Structure 1
């Protein structure tokens, strides 16, 4: 697991689909869901740690360079 997409695929295996509409919120919700899966012992420690690192990295990148559509929506209004 190396990318945010990989984390989303992991979550889909457990029936969790994430799309809130803001990429930063999606990343945060994915982190909550990974925590939940780990707490329920559905994923092992290594998978959990890897997913959290990927999500932390994506969160930091999104804060530095937002890819969300909010700015694009405001420009079109």
Structure 2
């Protein structure tokens, strides 16, 4: 599992589709769903860790985009 799309496909196997309307929020909801699947022992530890790594990475990218956008808006 290497991309956000891969995480979405894993969630889809459990009937979970996430679309809140803002990519950052989607990532946060996906992270919560992955936590719930792990707590219920529905995904392996490896799937859990890989998913969380991907989601954390994507979350940081989105935060940096937002930070850069706010800095540019102040010029």
Into which bin does the TM-score normalised by the smaller protein fall?
A: 0.7 to 0.9
CA distance in 1 between partners of 2:45 and 2:18 (Å): 22
Which one has the bigger helix percentage?
2
So what's the TM-score if we normalise by structure 1? 0.84
Deviation at residue 65 of structure 1 after TM alignment: 1.4
Could you tell me which residue of structure 1 aligns to residue 7 of structure 2? 7
**Secondary structure class of the residue paired with 2:29:** helix
Unaligned runs of 5+ in 2: 70-75
CA distance in 2 between partners of 1:12 and 1:62 (Å): 22
Unaligned runs of 5+ in 1: 72-77
Query: RMSD between aligned alpha carbons?
Result: 1.2
So what's the TM-score if we normalise by structure 2? 0.86
- The alignment status of 1:33 with 2:33, answered yes or no, reads yes
Equivalences, count: 67
Map Cα deviations across residues 11-60 of structure 1 (whole Å, 9 max, x no partner): 00000000000100000000000000000000010100000000000000
